[in-house]
Amino acid sequence: MTAVLLPIFPAHSRLLAEMHRICFVEPWDEAAMGGVLTMPGTSGVLASEPSHGASPERKPAPQGFLLWRTAADEAEVLTLLVLPPYRRTGVAGRLLDHAIDAVRQAGVQAFFLEVASDNAAGRALYSSRHFEQVGMRPRYYRNSIDAIIMKRKI
Amino acid sequence: MNEKANYYLDITGELCPMTFVKTKLAIEKMHTGDTLEVRLKGDEPLRNVPRSVRELGHVIVSVAPEPGESAGGIHRLRIAKA
């Protein structure tokens, strides 16, 4: 079933922090997530199961989310995740396409992101959306993995 | 200038955007006029944290590398809460 995309608000901090904890070794806790969501320029989109697939016993499950920040004519992806059961179903691509449309409407000229050099799935996704490598931060992540800086003109 | 800050925060192990978020959360616990010393590493937080703190209306009192550190090394940032 196709996910529905919903706007994210600071009230979602707890849910997003729980999802982040499932996906990352250095998760953002609820206070940190609240801090991200209330930074000037932060926006977000949440992918959820459609409610018609749910029942009183089974509420629609969140599948993934993407947060980005816009400042003047530039934007950057802050975090993107898809929960394990929903990977390889196109959720990340839909989230990213949504964000690209949103920043375009906001007048953004360039969209940036950082991705771990060993994150093959992430890099393939970004390349498929025409993000190109423009730099690298050596040993940026705690396990000494390089960060690849990517950019897409909007 | 050499007076000790009221609060201290080490974000040398944090990545963007947590560098700014942890700083913001620390400032929120302080009172007006209190000072916070932030220890940070690398040019990304050095560029972004002071700018974002200023955008919140607080004052950057000083930024200086720790002794022996290069331009992109560990810095001490002193913030006064507005």
Work out how many domains chain A is built from and give that number: 1
Does B1 score more than 70 pLDDT?
no
**Residue B33 domain boundaries:** 7-65
- Which pLDDT score is estimated for A66? 98
Contact across the interface for A28 and B55, Cβ inside 8 Å: no
Question: Catalytic: B16?
Answer: yes
- Which pLDDT score is estimated for B70? 85
B22 touches chain A (CB under 8 A): yes
Answer yes or no: is A12 within a domain: yes
Nearest to B19 by CA among B29, B9, B28: B9
- Which pLDDT score is estimated for A98? 98
**ipTM exceeds 0.85:** no
- What CATH number is attached to the domain comprising B48? 3.30.110
Nearest to A35 among B16, B24, B44 (CB): B24
Which residues in chain A have Cβ-Cβ distances shorter than 8 Å to B52?
Answer: 39-40
**Residue A93 domain boundaries:** 4-51+61-153
As a whole number of angstroms, the distance between CA A141 and CA A116 comes to 8
The residue among A141 and A96 whose pLDDT is bigger is A96
For residue A50, the SS3 value is: coil
Answer yes or no: is A94 within a domain: yes
- What CATH number is attached to the domain comprising A113? 3.40.630.30
Does A53 score more than 70 pLDDT?
no
Contact across the interface for B18 and A141, Cβ inside 8 Å: no
Nearest to B61 by CA among B31, B33, B42: B33
Tokens in use for A127? 């390349």
Answer yes or no: is A56 within a domain: no
- Which pLDDT score is estimated for A54? 62
